[in-house]
Chain A
Amino acid sequence: MSEEIKRAQLNFEELIQLKWIIGGILALVSIWSLFFLDLNSDALLIITYVIIIGAVIFPSIPCKIPDIAWKIITPVLIIFICFDFIFSRPDIISPLVRMILLITLIRSLQFRKRREDLQLILLCLFMVIVSGVLTLSLSFAIQITVFMVCAMAYLFIINLTAYSDRNVEPSKSIWINFKWGWFLSRIWKVFNVKVIGFATTLFLGVMIFSSIIFFIMPRFQLNQAIPFLNLANQKTLSGFSENVKFGDVVDIILDNSVALRVDVPKNTKLPKIPYWRMIVLDEYRNGSFQMSPSAKTKNSVFSDISFPYQNEEKHSLNNADAKWTFYLEGGISRYLPSIGPYEKIRFQTKQDLEFNYYLQLLSVKNISNNVLFYQTTNMQPASKLFATFEERSLKMMAPIFIDITKKIKPGVIKYPQTTLVLPDGDENTATLKRIVSEISNGEKLPIIEFCSRTIEYLEKNHTYSLKSSKPTGSTDILVRWLDSKNSGHCELFAGGFSLIARYAGYPTRLVAGYKGGNWNGFENYYMIRNSNAHAWCEIYDDGIWYRVDPTPGSSNFSGLENVMAHTNNIVSDKTWRAYLDSLKILWYRRIVNFDEEQQTELAGNLKKKSATYIALIKEKIQAKIDQLKLWIKSPWGNQKIISTLYNAMIMSIGTILIILLLKIFRKIISKESIHPIRKKAGKFIQQIRSRKPEISDAFLNKQTKFNSTVSVQDLEEWLNIYKNLLNLRFGNSTNWPDSKVVFRSAKILIGKRN
Chain B
Amino acid sequence: MNETAKLIPAPKVKNSLDRLKENIGKFIKGKDEVIDKVIICLVASGHILIEDLPGLGKTTLAYCLARSIDCEFTRIQFTSDLLPTDVIGVSIYDDSIKEFVFKRGPLFTNILLADEINRTTPKTQSALLEVMDRAKVSVEGQTYSIAHPFMVFATQNPVDYEGTFPLPESQMDRFLMRLQMGYPSFDKELEVMNSGFLKYDSIQTDPVITRSEILEMQNFVHQIFVEESILNYILKIVTATREVKELRAGVSTRGALSLKIAAQAAALVDGRSFVVPEDVLKVALPTLSHRLGLIRQTSDLLEERRITDGILENILEEIPMPT
Contact = CB atoms under 8 A, between A and B. Distances in A.
Contact of A730 (B4, B6, B227): B227
B3 A11 contact: yes
Contacts of B323: 682-683, 685-686, 689, 729
B282 A732 contact: no
A726 interface: yes
Interface stretch (A86-94, A115-123, A159-167, A182-190): A159-167
Contacts of A674: 228-229
B138 interface: no
Per DSSP, chain A at the interface is: helix
Interface residues on B, range: 20 to 34
Interface in B256-309: 272-278, 282
Interface residues of A, number: 26
Contact of A734 (B4, B228, B276): B4
A706 interface: no
B276 A726 contact: yes
Nearest to A697: B278
Contacts of B229: 674, 678, 730
Given A729-B323, A730-B275, A678 B227 contact: yes
B3 A164 contact: yes
A732 B274 contact: yes
B2 interface: yes
A686 B321 CA distance: 10
Nearest to A164: B3
A696 interface: yes
Given A682-B323, A686-B323, A727-B274, A732 B5 contact: no
B276 A732 contact: no
A700 B282 contact: yes
Interface string B208-232: 0000000000000000010111100
B275 A732 contact: no
A165 B222 CA distance: 15
Contacts of A731: 225, 227, 272-274
A707 interface: no
Contact of A166 (B3, B7, B274): B3
A699 interface: yes
Interface string B1-18: 011111100000000000
Contact of A167 (B5, B227, B230, B273): B5
A12 interface: yes
Interface in B166-190: none
A226 interface: no
Contacts of A682: 322-323
B283 to A, nearest CB: 12
A168 interface: yes
A735 interface: yes
B4 A735 contact: yes
Interface in A1-54: 11-12
Contacts of B227: 678, 729-731
Interface string A688-721: 0100000010011000000000000000000000
Contacts of B275: 730
A727 B5 CA distance: 17
Contacts of B225: 730-732, 735
Q: Chain A CB within 10 Å — which of B3, B277, B322 has the most? A: B3
A165 B227 CA distance: 19
A527 to B, nearest CB: 59
Interface in A668-693: 674, 678, 682-683, 685-686, 689
Contacts of B282: 700
Given A689-B323, A696-B278, A730 B230 contact: yes
A261 to B, nearest CB: 58
Interface string A711-754: 00000000000010011011110110000000000000000000
Rank and list the top 8 A-B pairs by shortest CB-CB distance, nearest first: A732-B225, A731-B274, A682-B323, A686-B323, A730-B227, A726-B276, A730-B274, A166-B5
Given A700-B282, A732-B4, 18 more contacts: A12-B3, A166-B5, A167-B5, A674-B228, A674-B229, A678-B227, A678-B229, A683-B323, A727-B272, A730-B229, A730-B274, A730-B277, A732-B225, A734-B4, A735-B7, A735-B225, A735-B273, A735-B274
7 contacts: A166-B5, A168-B6, A674-B229, A689-B323, A696-B278, A727-B272, A735-B7
